[in-house]
Chain A
Amino acid sequence: MSTEATNITLPRAASLMPMKTFGIDTRFVMPLLITLILLVGQAFYGILESYPHTLTAIGVALFFEIVLSKIDRGTFPFLASAYISGISVGILTRSPFFWTFALCSAITITSKYVLKLKGRHLWNPSNFGVAVMLLIAPSSYSTLSIQWGNNLWAMLVIWALGCIIIYRLKRFHITLTYVLSFLFFGVIRSFWTGDALVAEIAPITGAMYQLFIFFMITDPATTVRRSKGTQMLVVFLVAAAEMVLRMMENVHAPYFALFIVGPIANLVDIYWPKKSEQ
């Protein structure tokens, strides 16, 4: 998810991306796509806890973005990234309590302003918010995991749409690498656990992963800013960490894998001189 855009200067990561996608300002493509998924999903499947819960998440995210931007920079922020963060929290959070939606959004947005090095985010904000909520409020908070439809055609439509857009945004290699890595590790887990291969690869056919692979791991602002090969290596390591967590029977393995690997990769990216700099 884009997280750093303002109405004054495009962030460095975003500047690496095309300015227009399908004739639309690239910064609006992701907000439009995720809104589309949300509305269609809710209309046909009732995917949300409720509209009020999701609106709470979005509202709090926008509120914190505005307030913190004013405090931190004294400017009114470009709100697309906060909107995506809020809507992501609204979709990913599955809890009956309104306060969990509000708090997750607040932590997500605030983390962008606190957990930075040399102007770079270490964590994907939504991933950070979700993972931290799982750690600090396990009795009140859970994430989208076993919910949503298991309909193959609906999944294929979202995959096709997501792939086209991710391709146009030049992030397809990240998604593809993750999917292939997941399948590879699924085969290993199947051999290791004795469970059916389809059971091991079942998660990636679910809705939660559609959000994870299209929106979270491809976030330009929190992926390493090096060659495609390096980005693919990082996402392979995310899948590897997820494999380890899955072997430890962690239900929220993908969130925690990105939570662990993401900042390490970004730290290396920040402090390890690039060839051109050497």
Chain B
Amino acid sequence: MSWRKICIIIVFCLLLTVPFWISYFSADGGGGMDRNAAMERYGFYFEEVAKKSGVDFVHKAPTLDSKLDNIMPQIASMGAGVSIADFNRDGWSDIYLTNSAEGSLNALYRNNKNGTFTDVASDLGVADVNKDGTGVSMGAVWGDYDNDGFEDLLIYKWGRTALYRNEGGKKFEKVETAGFPEWANVNTGIWFDFDRDGRLDIFLGAYFRPDIDLWHLKDTKIMPESFEYANNGGRNYLLRNTGDGKFEDVTEKMGLKSTRWALAAGAADLTGNGYPDLFIANDYGVSELFLNDDGKRFVDASEASGVGFAPKSGMNASFGDVLSDGRLAIYESNISERGILLQGNNLWVPREGTSGNDVKFDDLANAVGVEDGGWSWGSQFGDFDNDGDQDIFLTNGYVSLDRNANYWYDFSKITIGNNAIIGDAANWPAMNGRSLSGYQQKKVWLNDGKGGFQDAALALGIRETYDGRAVAVADLWNRGVLDVVVANQRGPALVYRNHLEKGRNWIAFELPEDESIGARITIFRDGEKQTQEIQGGSGYCAQNQRRAHFGLGSSGKIEKVEIRTPDGKTRTIESPATNQLHKITG
């Protein structure tokens, strides 16, 4: 054999070892460690305290029409939502959790200010909302639609979406004539003032078609027509607040006509015109970005902006200034199952040099290391270690049943087929108790401030592997750190208390309820600026606290903060004091 041949054989053998070496050198820091070690290495850790703090909520899934029995765990796989609100304006964050079994109760955990919570949902009238014939909850978001200073509760459902008016934090009254769709299979809802008229409007994104009652099916042709190009989902709803307690359907008029399979939506000003733009993460297809033309209409910029070309399985929409340059990126979760399907999550970062309606986004998830989150669901940005940049908390896992039986083969078999096959639930092989991307390890990606993220979930104490859906972030105990609440499908809600070492500074801002959602807060320090926008719903079926919390690291000083309220007015505070919450008054 010639030396040339030997050289080629050696090259061939070396090539076969490349994955081993890449895996060897890129092993992340997610290994388990005790709390002291985590504190020493990362400066903080999470402690799961749900039971200890009185949050004993367990989500139950619905039981739908028996025609869907073959794939019931897959269809009835959503509905665990969580949203944070200070419903009684006592200065402490409360937690609302949605349930999805017929007749099950939602929960409103009032903060007792002593480390514990008490469920007051039944007393206040927002527990028994999943009655037969009305559908079941998919999620809930808070917004002060009547500008009375108390946030009201919107519960979106597979069924009849409902609005509950907050009566001074003492009880809730259902708003009977709200002008909502009679029946819709809604999987995402957000509050935002799209026309800047001072009144919060609503966007509802639907999954199944509105003519489908999942408890009384006419037939089983309810599934997506394609795994990646489906356009036969439910219509969406843009409901304009008319100011008299009613909402007007302006969906078509404003240019939001799509019928994709919406799972998550978020609104933020991505063009800089002061009006909130709308991002929709769709399952079975491309994402959508609608730019707000000064409140007059929405312009579909999905393809032009770059976010709506490659179809995936969008399940999350959250906004964060990951590069600390004053621009918001969008984090979108998708499916990654090793060896089978690697869609990868998307981190849509605005491209340098683009702005306004010509804004373009590049997916940097792979480049910064936040791409593989398993079968990813809800996610939120937050500076969990108060080091001055935005980290990411991600939950995941689809259906965790039999650990030793996997549905992936049958799932891949049917989803590859043409639309006549995939679109009929009767054609889908029975799950028979098998898992589908179950028991997955959650992710806590810590931002190193240099353009990279490292997963440290296990080390930080995130060990639970329930089927995570919604994540919400809040400073639950007013300590200047961000805690995390996770809602799990067919599982207990989890409360992760953040234990942070001393010496990491912070600052937070809170606006009045009627000026909060849509407010944009930018802090300036050390030549950087970091921006947050208060959300009326983000992630997946979730809503964070309405405070803007910024970690400051050890420096502890900021030069100024700019606060732009939803009406477009901007005020500046020079050298605000740190390590405290600033309550901004109107």
In Å, the complex CA distance between A201 and B422 comes to 11
Q: Which of B17-25, B96-104, B567-575 contacts A (4 or more CB under 8 A)?
A: B17-25
Q: Which of B15, B20, B408 contacts A110 (CB 8 A)?
A: B15
Are the C-beta atoms of A46 and B309 separated by less than 8 Å?
Answer: yes
Residue B417 is within 8 A (CB to CB) of chain A in the complex: yes
Residue B242 is within 8 A (CB to CB) of chain A in the complex: no
B20 CB, nearest partner CB in chain A, Å: 8
Are the C-beta atoms of A140 and B19 separated by less than 8 Å?
Answer: yes
Are the C-beta atoms of A199 and B421 separated by less than 8 Å?
Answer: yes
Are the C-beta atoms of B338 and A151 separated by less than 8 Å?
Answer: no
Tell me which residues across on chain A come within 8 A of B414, comparing CB atoms. Answer: 199, 202
Residue B49 is within 8 A (CB to CB) of chain A in the complex: no
Tell me which residues across on chain B come within 8 A of A68, comparing CB atoms. Answer: 8
**Shortest Cβ distance from B405 into A: residue:** A249
User: How many A residues are at the interface, by size bracket?
Assistant: 35 or more
Are the C-beta atoms of B225 and A150 separated by less than 8 Å?
Answer: yes
Are the C-beta atoms of B418 and A249 separated by less than 8 Å?
Answer: no
B337 CB, nearest partner CB in chain A, Å: 8
Central interface residue in B225, B344, B412, by most chain A CB within 10 Å:
B412
In Å, the complex CA distance between A113 and B1 comes to 13
Residue B419 is within 8 A (CB to CB) of chain A in the complex: yes
CB proximity to B under 8 Å, residues A81-127? 94-97, 99, 103, 106-107, 110-111, 113-114
Residue A145 is within 8 A (CB to CB) of chain B in the complex: yes
**Shortest Cβ distance from B365 into A: residue:** A96
Residue A205 is within 8 A (CB to CB) of chain B in the complex: yes
Central interface residue in B341, B342, B372, B420, by most chain A CB within 10 Å:
B342
Tell me which residues across on chain B come within 8 A of A193, comparing CB atoms. Answer: 429
Are the C-beta atoms of B310 and A46 separated by less than 8 Å?
Answer: yes
Residue A157 is within 8 A (CB to CB) of chain B in the complex: no
**Shortest Cβ distance from A207 into B: residue:** B416
Are the C-beta atoms of A103 and B19 separated by less than 8 Å?
Answer: yes
Given contacts A134-B339, A202-B422, A203-B416, contact A111 B12 (CB under 8 A): yes
Are the C-beta atoms of B419 and A152 separated by less than 8 Å?
Answer: yes
In Å, the complex CA distance between A189 and B564 comes to 63
Are the C-beta atoms of B429 and A198 separated by less than 8 Å?
Answer: no
Given contacts A72-B5, A96-B365, A110-B8, contact A205 B417 (CB under 8 A): yes
B24 CB, nearest partner CB in chain A, Å: 12
Tell me which residues across on chain B come within 8 A of A201, comparing CB atoms. Answer: 417
**Shortest Cβ distance from A136 into B: residue:** B19
A103 CB, nearest partner CB in chain B, Å: 5
In Å, the complex CA distance between A215 and B11 comes to 27
CB proximity to B under 8 Å, residues A118-174? 132-134, 136-142, 145-152, 155
Q: Which of A49, A150, A199 contacts B226 (CB 8 A)?
A: A150
CB proximity to A under 8 Å, residues B122-161? none
In Å, the complex CA distance between A110 and B409 comes to 31
Are the C-beta atoms of B23 and A139 separated by less than 8 Å?
Answer: yes
Are the C-beta atoms of A46 and B409 separated by less than 8 Å?
Answer: no
Are the C-beta atoms of A195 and B19 separated by less than 8 Å?
Answer: no
Tell me which residues across on chain A come within 8 A of B408, comparing CB atoms. Answer: 251
Q: Which of A145, A208, A209 contacts B340 (CB 8 A)?
A: A145
A residues engaging B (CB < 8 A)? 45-46, 48-50, 68, 71-72, 94-97, 99, 103, 106-107, 110-111, 113-114, 132-134, 136-142, 145-152, 155, 193-196, 198-203, 205-209, 246, 249-251
10 tightest A-B contacts by CB? A202-B417, A206-B416, A138-B339, A249-B409, A137-B19, A96-B344, A150-B226, A205-B418, A146-B415, A195-B429
B residues engaging A (CB < 8 A)? 4-5, 7-9, 11-12, 15-16, 18-20, 22-23, 225-229, 286, 309-311, 337-342, 344, 365-366, 371-372, 406, 408-422, 426-430
Additional 8 contacts, C-beta under 8 A, given A142-B341, A145-B412 = A111-B12, A133-B19, A141-B342, A147-B227, A195-B430, A199-B417, A205-B421, A246-B409
